[in-house]
Amino acid sequence: MRIVQKYGGSSVATAERIRHVVSRIIMTRQAGHEVIVVVSAMGDTTDELIALAKQLAAEPDPRELDVLMSTGETQAAALVAIALKEQHVPAVSLMASQAGIRTTDRHRRALITAVHPERVVRELDAGKVCIITGFQGITEEGDITTIGRGGSDSSAVAVAVALKADRCEFYKDVEGILTADPRIVPQAQKLDVISHEEILELTTLGAQVLHPRAIELGQVYRMPLVVLPTFSMGSGTVIRALTDEERVMEQFNRVSGVVCERNVAKVTVVGVPDRPGVAYQIFKPLADAGINVDIIVQNVSRDGITDMSFTLATEDLPAARRLLEPVRGALGAAILDAATGFGKISIVGVGMQTHPGYAATMFGALRDAEINIQMITTSDIRITCLIDDRDVDTAVRTLHEAFIEQVAAAASA
Amino acid sequence: MRIVQKYGGSSVATAERIRHVVSRIIMTRQAGHEVIVVVSAMGDTTDELIALAKQLAAEPDPRELDVLMSTGETQAAALVAIALKEQHVPAVSLMASQAGIRTTDRHRRALITAVHPERVVRELDAGKVCIITGFQGITEEGDITTIGRGGSDSSAVAVAVALKADRCEFYKDVEGILTADPRIVPQAQKLDVISHEEILELTTLGAQVLHPRAIELGQVYRMPLVVLPTFSMGSGTVIRALTDEERVMEQFNRVSGVVCERNVAKVTVVGVPDRPGVAYQIFKPLADAGINVDIIVQNVSRDGITDMSFTLATEDLPAARRLLEPVRGALGAAILDAATGFGKISIVGVGMQTHPGYAATMFGALRDAEINIQMITTSDIRITCLIDDRDVDTAVRTLHEAFIEQVAAAASA
């Protein structure tokens, strides 16, 4: 197989850890695979370089900051190559310019536009391990860019796609992706397999492990992504496209994870006219101000008048109030009602698409736990409820037990 | 004028020093000049990177060590550009690959083969200050090389030559090049002007300030090199080709400097046959072993038999003895005589080419100081004597007084 392995900053933070990375690479080669490595900068290097730049300018020039930051990954790549060659493994470090990682010229947040892997292929054909710098790219003009925080994960997927790799592995400080936050649910289980779309919905569980951009890229190109523990031999979590058969099979007929979010505020515009354009009038100014609105519910209209409710982060509430007061006046709405102290709870699973009854089970479990549901929103593979913030932990544990622990127990029975 | 300014590692070691460099660059621009900057890595960065690599390999792979080390200059260039832009000076950092500095592929000690400055010219035409990474280059294949210790000086001269700059300035921790080591001669004076060939002969005075490769490059392409103090407004020392008029003019009819060398050993092969090939038999094995031989004297032959004497560094003496013992036997030479405890003293000046009498004055001054001369060797612009090591300091002071202080006093009288 052709395997891309991405090692994060903490995996290459010291000489000792680099030697450990090298032993993983050698193990993979000895299993008969071709290995391409993508590395981040060592430990806190990127932050240290930014701090240095900020001694010289409050807002350092983005082009030059990219040049500066890119040196972190270049150093890490060279050091891994040095350590590999010391073990008599043919290896070559390649910067983004050499690996052909082309990007837009929007510095600091460039987007990968293409990967031209001719040099990488030549080095692989010569039997070498290629160590490619993550996070960085190069413009048409030959200038260095960086592709934003978490970008190294995206680099790895882009390289894997361009090289038609069989899988892209991410070595992290975790055993894999879990079914819930273990600080809330001690029984949280490691997922063996999950689909790209599920992990994208499990934001708080997934995003801590793998950048959403990388997952989306994997989804679009159907590249299997594997989250593996750096410092143990665990099997990790495979993120991949599920087959049609799998989607209806029993083992996937389950909830993949339970996630929650806190510090949610709810706003209701009471008594707005039920006519086209009202939603636009309310949400356009919020969008322009960069305020993310989440659950939106419009009540059934009565006498041409309705209520519009939505949630947002508590920290955005003051700004939202200020923006909406004139809108309320223009709409002739009666009241702008705002309240804080809410939380969101979601279950995610592809099985929902083909198996009914998830919603009923979720609502029943919350009722049994005497948790009141304020608002509901759903997608194809997710059901989210707005509840009191103080009920969030109980709700996560209740739903994890109902959808994951009981199913696992039944399966093993 | 178009001016290349080279700043060494200590000149960019901290944010404060970088700001100082920026003020020098701005001053040069305000005087109406076009500025190209060549930088070394900040402070001890290169040594720290090498130390990191040595934690992973006793002898780190040279290609990868070059990639690693090159990041030091890249960081410095980006930081200087950031600091310039903060002062609203248009600027752009360019790595060797972007500045078109091509080298051979002999890693760690690559030789500059060409500079393709198209991008630099384009940026200069756009009114920008270009900050180019010293020390690094790029191969035909696009791999990073470094051009050896002191290479940043050579980078600067090569860039100056390719850009047809009017001068190449080197900002250093000294006021300029002195007529003697000030630890021996407190009256040592700063030279205002000196020729490339003189500074190359004044090895111990010149090499501490500017790398001989850089001086040679300047000599070949007749590029004026200016050594300037980073932290004062002194006028420094200009190294340039002297005109034919200058060479015979009174002000250049003087010794530029007095240099010495210690720990010199003398070897005499007594009683060798005076026939072709003998010198080759003696010196070939030494050259093969990398032993530098300096003053060579062959006595006048008597009855087809002669003595051959030469000097070398004391530390090389044991190896030389081992290599020469069989040669002595093969030549049927009587004795291999070796002695340590010598020093060399030299005066350097272009005036010697056109004005006789330097040698006589030198020998006379040494006699007056009761210093015995063991051996003599000369070039067009240098006279060197081998003397007792314990006489070296006195000899330097004596010759500096005779050739420099007295001439200066006469000139100002």
Mean pLDDT of chain A: 91
Q: Which of A42, A61, A132 to mutate to test the interface with B (most CBs of B within 10 A)?
A: A61
Is A95 near chain B, with CB under 8 Å? yes
pLDDT band at B96 (very low <50, low <70, confident <90, very high): very high
Mean pLDDT of B12-17: 94
For A274-324, the pLDDT digits (tens) are: 888 888 888 999 988 888 888 888 877 778 888 889 999 999 999 999 999
H-helix or E-strand spanning residue B45: helix B45-54
Rounded CA separation A266/A387 (Å)? 11
CB of B56 within 8 Å of a chain A CB? The answer is yes
Report the alpha-carbon distance of residue B227 to residue B171 in Å, rounded.
Answer: 6
Contacts of A143 in chain B (CB under 8 A): 98
Instruction: Please tell me the distance from the alpha carbon of residue A188 to that of residue A296, in angstroms, as a whole number.
Output: 30
Q: At B239, which helix (H) or strand (E)? A: strand B237-239
Determine the pLDDT at residue B252.
58
Give the model's pLDDT for residue B250. Answer: 58
For residues A169-192, give the mean pLDDT: 92
Q: By percentage, how much of chain B surpasses pLDDT 70?
A: 96
pLDDT at A405 over 80: yes
Higher local confidence (pLDDT), B85 or B173? B85
CB spacing of A53 vs B82 below 8 angstroms: yes
pLDDT score of A267: 93
A15, A53, A65 member nearest B56 (Cβ): A15
Flag whether pLDDT at A252 surpasses 60.
no
> Does any CB of chain A come closer than 8 Å to the CB of residue B53?
yes
Q: Does B286 touch chain A (CB under 8 A)?
A: no
Which of B 33-52 lie inside 8 A of A, CB atoms? 49, 52
Q: In this predicted model, what pLDDT tens digit does every residue of B209-261 receive, in sequence order?
A: 888 889 999 999 999 999 999 888 899 999 998 887 777 665 656 788 999 99
Q: Which two tokens stand for residue B29?
A: 């621009």
Q: What is the pLDDT of residues A13-53, one digit of tens each?
A: 999 999 999 999 999 999 999 999 999 999 899 999 999 99
Three-state secondary structure readout of chain A = CEEEEEECHHHHCCHHHHHHHHHHHHHHHHCCCEEEEEECCCCCHHHHHHHHHHCCCCCCCHHHHHHHHHHHHHHHHHHHHHHHHHCCCCEEEECHHHHCEEECCCCCCCCEEEECCHHHHHHHHCCCEEEEECCEEECCCCCEEECCCCHHHHHHHHHHHHCCCCEEEEEECCCCCECCCCCCCCCCCECCEECHHHHHHCHHHHCCCCCHHHHHHHHHCCCCEEEEECCCCCCCEEECCCCHHHHHCHHHCCCCEEEEEEEEEEEEEEEEECCCCHHHHHHHHHHHCCCCEEEEEECCCECCEEEEEEEEEHHHHHHHHHHHHHHHHHHCCCEEEEEEEEEEEEEECHHHHCCCCHHHHHHHHHHHCCCCCCEEEEECCEEEEEEEHHHHHHHHHHHHHHHHHHHHHHHHC
- The pLDDT tens digits of the residues spanning A58-115 come to 999 999 999 999 999 999 999 999 999 999 999 999 999 999 999 999 999 999 999 9
Q: At residue B269, does pLDDT exceed 70?
A: yes
H and E: helices and strands count for chain B: 15, 18
User: Cβ of B265 under 8 Å from any chain A Cβ?
Assistant: no
Kindly state the tokens that stand for B357: 């009498």
**Residue B233 CB-density burial (10 A; 0-12 exposed, 13-18 middle, 19+ buried):** exposed
Among B64, B68, B82, beta carbon nearest to A61: B82
What average pLDDT does range A216-233 have in this prediction? 93
SS3 B357: coil
What is residue A248's predicted lDDT score, i.e. its pLDDT? 67
As a whole number of angstroms, the distance between CA A1 and CA A124 comes to 12
Tell me how far apart the alpha carbons of residues A94 and B64 are, in angstroms, rounded to a whole number. Answer: 10
CA atoms within a 13 Å half-sphere pointing along the CA-CB vector of B271: 9
Interface-testing mutation among A45, A79, A123, A130, with chain B (most B C-beta atoms within 10 A) = A79
pLDDT at res. A253: 61
| Mean confidence (pLDDT) of chain B | 91
Q: Mind listing the pLDDT tens digit for each residue in B314-358?
A: 999 999 999 998 888 888 877 889 999 999 999 998 877 777 788
Question: Do B67 and A61 count as a contact with CB atoms less than 8 A apart?
Answer: no
Instruction: Read off the pLDDT of residues B345-357 as tens digits, 9 standing for 90 and up.
Output: 999 988 777 777 8
Beta-carbon contacts of B302 under 8 Å, excluding residues fewer than 6 positions away, are none
Which chain B residues are closer than 8 Å to A60 by Cβ? 82, 86
A195-222: average pLDDT: 86
Q: What whole-number percentage of chain A has pLDDT above 70?
A: 97
- Is pTM beyond 0.90 here? no
CB atoms within 10 A of CB B212: 15
**Which amino acid does the sequence have at B4?**
V
Could you report the per-residue pLDDT of B36-89, keeping only the tens digit for each?
A: 999 999 989 999 999 999 999 999 999 999 999 999 999 999 999 999 999 999
> Are B65 and A78 inside 8 Å of each other by CB?
yes
